Amino acid sequence: MWSEATQPWLLASGYGEHWGLTQGWPLILLPLAILPWVLHGQMNFPHPALQGLPEDALSAWLDRLWKIALSLLILSLALALTGPYLKSSYVEKVGRGAHVMIVLDRSASMNEPFVKKGDAQAREPKMKVARNVLKTLVAQGHDDLMGMVTFSTSPILAAPLGNDRGYVQAALDATEAGGMGFTAVARGLGMALDYFADQPVTGARAMVLVSDGGAHLDGKTQDMLRAMFMRQQASLYWIYLRSESGVSLKQSLAEGENIDAYPEYALHEYFQTLNVPYRVYEAENPEAVMAAVRDISKLKNKPTRYLEPVSRQDLSQYAYALAWLASVLLLALYGLELKRWQA
């Protein structure tokens, strides 16, 4: 009956929707707050004629203050014990450093090693190498905001742009080459660039593309991607995991070679026309990639404010602080108590 009566009131206040209590039982402590007001029997000094004494307004108020402090203490403790919280709210954070989106290729070819011959160490799958390299990148530069998109046929947002490094590491741990043979570079980059779309440009934005091969981009896609790069003013770092049979991007193609036969070369040529800072790192071996990691960690940014959702905002700390104040007040008032009759 009681709960039925309070139900509409609770709902109107947004209980369950915007705020909630972790536990309900400490509420039974609330009635204790009236005890100081109903109980009598404090230490007293017998006096033959109380009527003859002048009323001391200050003492009366001090007494009230003392009772208020006592009540407040137990009220705020009971409230704190219920663990009140605000649901899905946002906290403001300040980010420094660059905004880095990692775009990682998950296509099937990433399962192949750099070289086919050699011992087990030399025949590490490219995916594993890429993962290790990115882990070093993620472990560095703690001011940078990072996110990750993985792609094969379609892009998947694996980690949103933020300062949660542990999460990016966990997302990297989960990457396994799989998916289809198709390498949709454009869609992966597009999704990562989209991530900057709603935010003002406050400093360096970097796209770190980690891929082992090229893909043909048709004219329309090329123009769209170029426009996106220009608009978001993001620089591009391509960590090209060259396989043994792959072409090196450092040398120009021989005269008469058909560029279409070398998709990675075509992609390289296209990236150079993007009008944004672009660098390519050829990683024939794991060490070569460290250069890229160093370059990216040099990027800087103006401090930017952004909102980050939190699961629950704990409110009990405020109640505890109130209880603390009340207890300090009680302690102070204790000193004011007369322990002996002062004539």
Partner 1 sequence: MPAGGFKAWVDRLPAWLHGWASEAGQPVAWRKHCLWLLTLLLTVILFKPHAMLPNRVYDWYFVVDITQSMNVPDYQAAAKSVSRLEMAKQSIRKTLSALPCGSQVALGMFTERNVVNVVEPVEVCSHFAALDQTVASMDWRMAWAADSFIAHGLYNALEQTPQLGKQMRLMFFTDGQQAPPANPKYMPGYAGKAGDVQGYLVGMGKPTPSKIPKLDEKNAVAGYWEQEEVQRFGNFGMAETLSVLAMENRQLDRNAGHGPGNALLENAHLSALDAQNLQRLANITGLSFVRLDTAGQGSDWATGLGMTAWRWAETDLRPWLAGLACLTWLVYLVLTFANSRYLVFFSKAWPGARQKHGARNA
Q: What residues line the site for partner 1 (CB under 8 A)?
A: 29, 32, 35-36, 39-47, 70, 73-74, 77-78, 80-81, 83, 87-88, 152-160, 162, 164, 166-167, 170-171, 173-174, 176, 178-180, 308-312, 316-317, 320-321, 323-324, 327-328, 330-331, 334-342
| Run of H or E residues at 21 | strand 19-21
- Residues 227, 197: Cα–Cα separation, whole Å: 12
* Contact predicate 204/301, CB 8 Å: yes
Minimum CB separation of residue 330 from partner 1 in Å reads 6
If the CB atoms of residues 46 and 200 are measured against partner 1, the closer one turns out to be: 46
What is the smallest separation between the CB atom of 83 and partner 1, expressed in angstroms? 7
Nearer to partner 1, 34 or 261 (CB): 34
> Cβ neighbours of residue 127 under 8 Å, at least 6 residues apart?
106, 110, 111, 175, 176, 177
Query: Whose Cβ is closer to partner 1: residue 5's or residue 53's?
Result: 53
| Residues 18, 21, 25: CA angle, nearest 5 degrees | 155
Nearer to partner 1, 244 or 308 (CB): 308
CB of 320 to partner 1, least distance (A): 5
**Dihedral sign of CA atoms 221, 227, 232, 237 in order:** positive
Nearest approach, Cβ of 247 to partner 1 (angstroms)? 27
Q: 14's torsion region: left (phi>0), alpha (psi -120 to 50) or beta? A: left
120 burial via Cβ count (<10 Å: 0-12, 13-18, 19+): exposed
CB of 123 to partner 1, least distance (A): 24
Q: How far is the CB of 19 from partner 1 (least distance, A)?
A: 12
* Nearer residue to partner 1 within complex by CB, 11 or 259: 11
Residue 159 vs 289, nearer CB to partner 1: 159
Q: Are 188 and 151 in contact (CB under 8 A)?
A: yes
